[in-house]
Structure 1
Amino acid sequence: MFVRSLVADAFGTNCYIVAPAEGEECLVVDPGIGVTERVRELLAEHRLRPAAVLLTHGHLDHVYSVTPVCGGTLGAYIHGDDRYRLEDPVATLPPPLREALEQQFGGRATWAEPERVVEVTDRQVLELAGLRVEVAHAPGHTEGSVLFSLPGLPHGIPAPDLDRTVLSGDVLFAGSIGRTDLPGGDPGAMTRSLRDVVLPLEDSTLVLPGHGPATTMARERVANPYLQGL
């Protein structure tokens, strides 16, 4: 697969561009704050045509640019339990985070809901942009957090022991997990998601998280303290 990542202007959120190859249709995953123009430049550079936007969950730092990226034609794919967040994700931010965001950018955050929203469900298989994407519902960080799993690896990764890629959003990070103390978070649900959704992933899985560097399930299984004892 062709995979490129961009880091958003706030909160260090990773936005991913995924396609079968250059010159093909592609998926844009989690377009966060301030990435719109860089997404357009990357698409033009590699002759990519966006087919859909995938959202691992509905927090503002993962969806802020979804509407300009989608335009009036592309679907924004999100789990049904987080669908409500696209009505106004700014309103769901705790006041301290909202104030920090407004201070960083010198003004109030604005929002327009995407015109076409597609709700996904657990274990659904999406056939988009020539790619096969499996959805796994993993609540805890938010009610509708999901993992997106694809067969194969990004081009150029010399890893014969890996054969699958998972976009983990804010469920799993390298050495950590997503916080559960924001509105809609649930520590118990996160524990169940880690036990029942994350731990069963094969060691041969490359993990591309919503924040921070890539990792592997083999590494996280032995080194991530939040997976120990589950």
Structure 2
Amino acid sequence: MFLLGFPAAAFATNCFVVAPAEGEECLIIDPGVGVIDRLGEVLRAHRLRPAAVLLTHGHLDHTFSVTPVCGAHQVAAHIHHDDAYRLENPVDQLGEELRAMLVAQFGSALAWKEPDDVVTFADSANLHLGGLDVHVRHAPGHTEGSVIFSVEDIPSALPADSGLTRTVFAGDVLFAGGIGRTDLPGGDDAAMTRSLRDVILTEADDSIVFPGHGPATTIARERATNPYLQHLR
């Protein structure tokens, strides 16, 4: 499986491009702030054709470029139905201080237009897109509609003896050594605890995890060392 990730221009949000192989259709996960030029370079260099955009949740740092990306490639944005409302205008959901910062940095580029084609899914959905089978697990807590995506394959760049067999895109549910914050609108401490216990800790140890921010990790590593999971074991 081809996989390439790179950080957005703000908030270090990871944008991922995943495909069965180079030269085929691909999925774009979480196109955040200022990713369009870099994304275009990746698509051209690896001869990839976008089939869909997948969103782990509806926060602006993960969705900033979703409308131009979807429009340029005539593809749909896929999001959990509980976060679909956020695509109507995520700029308005920002606090005043953060909105002012982004306006100062991006000016009129901060203006929002909802994608023309938004497809919603629910918990346990199985999405067949771009030649990949993607399983969805609803994991609220960071937002109402936060999800993780999993694929029963691993990036071809990993060594053959890695011991890993599947890939998880965790959004802002799980980070290397941490978890997503719950103090933003739509966040819920109790829901996050349930998601960590009933979703994250039930994932297989041989899963490589690509979070919404920061470096990759594994379920095995986080189960053993992540302080937010220790009391849930």
Q: Which residue of 2 aligns with 1:90?
A: 91
Report the CA distance between 1:169 and its aligned residue.
0.2
With structure 1 as the length reference, what TM-score do the two structures score? 0.97
Equivalent of 2:227, from 214, 225, 228?
225
Provide the C-alpha distance between the structure 2 equivalents of 1:100 and 1:191, rounded to a whole number of angstroms.
Answer: 31
| Root mean square deviation of aligned Cα | 1.2
For residues 164 and 180 of structure 1, what CA distance do their matches in structure 2 show?
A: 27
CA–CA separation in structure 2 for the residues paired with 1:116 and 1:88? 15
Return the letter of the residue paired with 1:202.
Answer: A
Alignment match, 1:33: 33
Once residues 104 and 116 of structure 2 are traced to their aligned partners in structure 1, the CA distance between those partners, rounded to angstroms, is: 29
Aligned to 1:201: 203
Cα shift at 1:93: 1.0
Q: 1:166-215 CA distances to partner (integer Å, 9 max, x unpaired)?
A: 00000000000000000000011000000000001111000000000000
Specify the alignment match of 2:216 in structure 1: 214
CA apart distance, 1:98: 1.5
State the secondary structure of the residue aligned to 2:223.
helix
Identity %: 63
Match of 2:59 in 1: 59
Report the AA paired with residue 113 of structure 2.
A
Distance 2:155 2:102 in 1: 32
2:199 aligned counterpart, secondary structure: helix
Q: SS where residue 187 of structure 2 aligns?
A: coil
Paired amino acid for 1:30:
D
Q: CA deviation at 1:156?
A: 1.5
Normalised TM-score (structure 2) = 0.96
In structure 1, give the amino acid aligned to 2:97: P
CA apart distance, 1:106 = 5.3
Farther-moved stretch of structure 1 (120-129 vs 156-165): 156-165
Partner of 2:173: 171
Code of the residue aligned with 2:29 in structure 1: it is V
Stretches of structure 2 that go unaligned for 5 or more consecutive residues are: none
Q: Please identify which structure carries the higher helix content.
A: 2
Question: Secondary structure, in 3 states, of the residue corresponding to 2:41?
Answer: helix
Aligned residues: 230
Change (3 A) 1:114 1:107: closer
Offset at 1:108? Answer: 6.7
The answer to whether the 8 Å contact 1:9/1:35 transfers is: yes
Counterpart CA distance in 2 for 1:107 and 1:50 is 27
Distance in 2, Cα, partners of 1:13 & 1:210: 6
Q: Aligned-pair distance for 1:104?
A: 3.5
Unpaired runs of 5+ residues, structure 1, are none
Runs of 4+ off more than 4 Å: none
Please name the residue that 1:17 is paired with: 17
Structure 2 counterpart of 1:161: 163
Shift of 1:107: 5.8
